[in-house]
């Protein structure tokens, strides 16, 4: 499988999109807030938008090269595109949608488990079925690159998990260079081998999901990955630890080194909650009143004034926390990352 | 006070309805249906019907053939001056038909803008059936343009993009995606334009005259028969009302069917597997 290589510059309304990226036989997810230029990257690769400068190539096949005045039409690029909301042709049956680009749809429909829907019109399908038909259609021309624009956004929350697992398996099985964009870090981390964080047209960090979670390059990446980001002032503390005086006078400790203004990053799933501070190995204990409890699948997100904790639904039930109740949030100094952002 | 206001509204509605429907009803009440059908057999009526059908068919075919691709381009492309073009296309809508007739004269008449060129080819347009075709096309085309542009603008751009990434060139995208998806709107625009073209009077009588069997269309025949044979004028008018009513019902029915199908697809229980 030839890798997809791009190095492009595309002026958008508020900023220029500047991106260099190589995608091998793997899935790369671009994640970022809406308006970060994610969809523009996909449209440029597919030939639906024209970059001001740069190159886009799949192996030796050059699709775009501003210096050599190469700009292949969308229909001449070997791209499978799964559009946001899927963009299935409403006037054609599932089989005709898949056969639109040529070829016989039967095999693909069977492979994606939607052969029984061959004669159905797209408007009668569920979100998950639509996604599979869109995938079958995108794959029908045997593209060399697969592009997916927010493939999970149009799904019901309760089917999301299952559909995500299926999509993950399919992407692995295909072994095509696949680039997907999403605003949801969880989807990106679940589906992709590498995740790139795109903010205002620039790639802030690119790496395996674990790397982004474990060593976020900046506060924005940390926040996008779901972390609590707390501002404060760091100074050397006892026992080789760093003491951080948070804005609001709370004091916490971290094993990371920093001095002066710093940001403390802690993930909600590393924070435990109790009614009284336990005498355990965790160094950091912060007391606050519960603002809200929101169930997310088998977990519960508990919002406190200064951070968010994530505990299992079972624990939440056992401890019977209520909004307004005062609790102690604890986390270890080893789980408190310190960042000295350029913004601070 | 409230009762008075409600009565006022009801009275206004009643007056408006009566005003609009009374003349229409009068046509059918004045002459028995049998006589109406008989009058349609007269030479004048038959000739006018043939002229109307022929000129309208040619004009309408030309409007569809040229207007459809032009509307597609105007709907999909963004270019400087697009707003001006869209406004100019609608200009004939607000022109009095008589002005349209004079304008056509000024362009295609012997002493007109293209008069010399047409003369060189031995072509003379005013007071021929070609003049009727031009007049009909001129007044009906803005109706088609407006509806057709709106219909193409209503086609989701993502579907066009999807077709292109699936290997379809611009012509195939037009034929397989844009045209079928805009078909409903195009049909409605076409029906409205056809109705306007069939009823064309002012531009035609100025630019083409009213020669029986050549340029005398049905509306012109009504005018010609008005002081000679009022019953024939009534019969032709009745024919128009029937055709117009059929067109309206078709349009409403189509709009209702479309609504019903949208309703079905939006609110159908989705079966997830």
Contact B103, B95 (CB under 8 A): yes
- State pTM to two decimals: 0.81
Among the listed residues B136, B131, B130, the one whose alpha carbon sits nearest the alpha carbon of residue B105: B131
Say if strands A79-82 and A145-149 run parallel, antiparallel, or are unpaired: parallel
Distances (CA, A) of A240 to A42, A236, A258, A333: 47, 7, 11, 11
> Would you say residue A344 has pLDDT above 50?
no
CB atoms within 10 A of CB A180: 26
Contacts of B155 in chain A (CB under 8 A): none
Tell me the shortest Cα–Cα distance from B118 to chain A, in angstroms.
43
* Each residue's pLDDT tens digit, A25-44: 999 999 998 888 899 999 99
Interface test with B, best of A49, A63, A87 (most B CBs within 10 A): A87
Q: Which of A47, A121, A126 sits opposite B270 (nearest CB)?
A: A126
Question: In the predicted model, is pLDDT for residue A225 greater than 70?
Answer: yes
When CB atoms are compared, the residue of B166, B181, B270 closest to A101 is B166
Q: Is B76 on the interface with A (CB under 8 A)?
A: no
Q: Which residues pair with A295 in a beta bridge?
A: A300
CB pairs under 8 A between A and B: 81
Does B87 contact chain A (CB < 8 Å)? no
Residues of A in contact with B163 (CB under 8 A): 89, 100
Chain B (98-157) residues lying within 8 Å, Cβ to Cβ, of chain A: 156
Kindly determine whether residue B181 and residue A90, on different chains, have CB atoms separated by under 8 Å.
Answer: yes
- Name the residue among B167, B176, B265 with its Cβ closest to that of A123: B265
Residue A117 has pLDDT above 80, yes or no: yes
Paired tokens of A65: 């090269």
Q: Which residue has the higher pLDDT, A147 or B226?
A: A147
Q: Which structure tokens are listed for B120? A: 């060189």
Distance from CA of B126 to the nearest CA of A (A): 46
Q: List the beta bridge partners of residue A331.
A: A284
> Domain extents for chain A?
4-220, 227-339
Six-digit token string for A173: 């099985």
The CATH class of the B42-262 domain is mainly alpha
Give chain B positions within 8 Å (CB) of A80: 165
Give the SS3 label for residue B113: coil
- CA distance, residue B66 to nearest chain A CA (Å): 25
Cα(A226)–Cα(A240) distance, integer angstroms: 28
Question: In a 3-state reduction of DSSP, which class is residue B110?
Answer: coil
Q: Which of B156, B168, B180 sits opposite A87 (nearest CB)?
A: B156
Long-range residue pairs from B79-88, CB within 8 A, at least 24 positions apart, any chain: B86/B149
| Res B269: pLDDT | 42
pLDDT in tens, chain B (273 residues): 789 999 999 999 999 999 999 998 888 888 777 777 787 788 888 999 999 999 999 999 999 999 999 999 999 998 999 999 999 998 888 889 999 999 999 999 888 888 888 888 888 899 999 999 999 999 999 999 999 999 999 999 999 999 999 999 999 999 999 999 999 899 989 998 999 999 999 999 999 999 999 999 999 999 999 888 888 888 888 888 888 888 888 878 877 776 666 555 544 444 333
The beta-carbon neighbor of B158 closest among A74, A80, A83 is A83
**Residue B171 in contact with partner chain A when CB distance is under 8 A:** no
Q: What is the pLDDT of residue A5?
A: 97
Check residue B139 and give its pLDDT: 94
The SS3 call for residue B98 is helix
Minimum Cα–Cα distance from B272: chain A residue: A126
Alpha-carbon gap, residue A88 to A127, rounded angstroms:
12
Closest residue to B272, CB basis, from A75, A141, A159 = A159
- List pLDDT tens digits, range A160-185: 888 889 999 999 999 999 999 999 99
CATH class of the domain comprising A4-220: alpha beta
Interface of A with B (CB under 8 A): 43, 46-48, 73-75, 77, 79-81, 83-85, 87-91, 100-102, 113, 121, 123-129, 137-138, 140-141, 156, 159
Give the model's confidence band at A278: pLDDT under 50 very low, under 70 low, under 90 confident, else very high: confident
How confident is the model at residue A341, as a pLDDT? 56
* Interface test with chain B among A39, A40, A45, A48, by most B beta carbons within 10 Å: A48
Handedness of CA B180, B184, B185, B190 (dihedral sign): positive
Whole-number pLDDT of residue B261: 60
Q: Nearest 5°: CA angle at B251, between B249 and B252?
A: 65
Give the nearest partner residue to A141 out of B167, B268, B272, using CB atoms: B167
C-alpha pair distances (Å), B200 with each of A227, B129, B138, B196: 71, 14, 10, 6
Chain B hits for A129, Cβ within 8 Å: 272-273
Is A75's CB within 8 Å of B265's CB? no
Model pLDDT, residue B271? 38
CA distances from A319 to A299, A305, A315, B11 (A): 14, 20, 6, 70
Query: In what helix (H) or strand (E) does residue B245 lie, and over which residues does it extend?
Result: helix B230-267
Secondary structure string (H, E, C) spanning chain A = CCCEEEEEEEECCCCEEEEEEEECCCEEEEECCCCCCHHHHHHHHHCCCCCCEEEEEECCEEEEECCCCEECCHHHCCEEEECCCCCCCCCCCHHHHHHCCCCCCHHHHHHCCCHHHCCCCHHHECHHHHHHHHHHHHHCCCCCEEEEECCCCCCCHHHHHHHHHHHHHHHHHHCCCEEEEECCHHHHHHHCCEEEEEECCEEEEEECHHHHHHCCCCHHHHHHCCCEEEEEEEEECHHHCEEEEECCCCEEEECCCCCEEEEEEECHHHCEEECCCCCCCCCEEEEEECCEEEEECCEEEEECCCCEEEEEHHHHHHHCCCCCCEEEEEECHHHCEEECCCCC
Asked if residue A32 lies in contact with residue A185, where contact means CB atoms within 8 angstroms, the answer is no
- Match domain A227-339 to its CATH number in 1.10.10.410, 3.30.1490.20, 2.40.50.100, 3.30.450.20: 2.40.50.100
Residue of B nearest to A45 (CA): B165
- The pLDDT mean for chain A works out to 91
The residues, ordered by sequence, that sit 6+ positions from B95 with a Cβ below 8 Å of its Cβ are B103
For the complex shown, is ipTM > 0.90? no
């Amino acid at each position: 499988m030839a890798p997809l290589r791009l190095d492009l510059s595309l002026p958008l309304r508020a900023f220029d999109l500047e991106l260099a990226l190589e995608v091998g036989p793997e899935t790369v997810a671009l994640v970022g807030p809406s308006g970060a230029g994610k969809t523009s990257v996909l449209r440029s690769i597919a030939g639906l938008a024209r970059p001001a400068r740069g190159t886009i190539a799949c192996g030796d096949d050059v699709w775009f090269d501003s210096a050599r005045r190469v700009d292949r039409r969308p229909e001449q690029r070997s791209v499978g595109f799964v559009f946001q909301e899927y963009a299935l042709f409403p006037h054609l049956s599932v089989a005709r949608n898949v056969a639109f680009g040529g070829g016989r749809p039967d095999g693909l429909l069977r492979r994606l488990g939607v052969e029984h829907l061959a004669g159905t019109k797209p408007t009668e399908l569920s979100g998950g079925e639509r996604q599979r038909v869109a995938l079958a259609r995108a794959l029908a021309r045997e593209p060399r690159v697969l592009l997916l624009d927010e493939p999970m956004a149009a799904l019901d929350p309760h089917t999301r998990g299952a559909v995500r697992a299926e999509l993950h398996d399919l992407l692995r099985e295909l072994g095509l260079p696949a680039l997907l964009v999403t605003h949801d870090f969880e989807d990106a981390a679940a589906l992709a081998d590498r995740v790139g964080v795109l903010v205002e047209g620039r790639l802030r960090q690119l790496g395996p999901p674990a790397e982004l979670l474990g060593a976020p390059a900046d506060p924005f990446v940390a926040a996008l990955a779901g972390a609590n980001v707390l501002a404060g002032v760091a100074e050397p503390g006892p026992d080789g630890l760093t003491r951080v005086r948070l804005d609001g006078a709370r004091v916490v400790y971290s094993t990371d080194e920093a001095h002066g203004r710093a940001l403390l990053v802690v993930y909600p799933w590393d924070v435990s909650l109790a009614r009284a501070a336990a005498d355990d190995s965790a160094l950091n204990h912060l007391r606050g009143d519960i603002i809200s409890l929101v169930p997310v699948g088998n977990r519960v997100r508990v919002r406190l004034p200064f951070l968010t904790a994530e505990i299992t639904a079972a624990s939440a039930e056992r401890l019977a926390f209520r909004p307004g109740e005062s609790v102690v949030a604890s986390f270890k100094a080893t789980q408190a990352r310190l960042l000295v952002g350029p913004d601070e | 006070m409230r009762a008075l206001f409600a009565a006022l509204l009801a009275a206004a509605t009643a007056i408006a309805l009566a005003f609009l429907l009374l003349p229409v009803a009068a046509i059918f009440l004045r002459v028995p249906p049998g006589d109406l059908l008989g009058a349609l057999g007269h030479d004048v009526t038959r000739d006018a019907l043939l002229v109307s059908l022929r000129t309208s068919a040619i004009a309408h075919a030309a409007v569809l053939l040229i207007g459809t691709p032009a509307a597609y381009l105007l709907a999909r492309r963004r270019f400087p001056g697009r707003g001006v073009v869209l406004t100019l296309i609608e200009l004939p809508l607000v022109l009095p038909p008589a002005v349209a007739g004079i304008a056509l004269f000024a362009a295609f008449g012997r002493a007109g803008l293209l008069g010399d060129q047409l003369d060189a080819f031995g072509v003379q347009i005013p007071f021929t059936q070609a003049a009727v075709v031009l007049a009909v096309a001129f007044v009906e085309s803005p109706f088609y343009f407006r509806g057709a542009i709106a219909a193409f603008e209503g086609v989701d751009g993502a579907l066009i993009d999807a077709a292109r990434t699936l290997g379809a060139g611009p012509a195939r995208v037009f034929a397989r995606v844009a045209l079928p998806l805009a078909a409903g709107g195009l049909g409605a625009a076409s029906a409205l334009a056809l109705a306007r073209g069939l009823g064309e009077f002012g531009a035609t009588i100025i630019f083409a005259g009213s020669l029986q069997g050549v340029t005398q269309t049905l509306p012109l025949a009504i005018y010609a028969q008005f002081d000679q044979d009022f019953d024939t004028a009534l019969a032709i008018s009745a024919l128009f009302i029937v055709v117009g009513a059929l067109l309206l019902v078709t349009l409403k029915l189509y709009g209702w069917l479309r609504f019903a199908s949208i309703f079905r697809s939006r609110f159908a229980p989705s079966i997830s597997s």
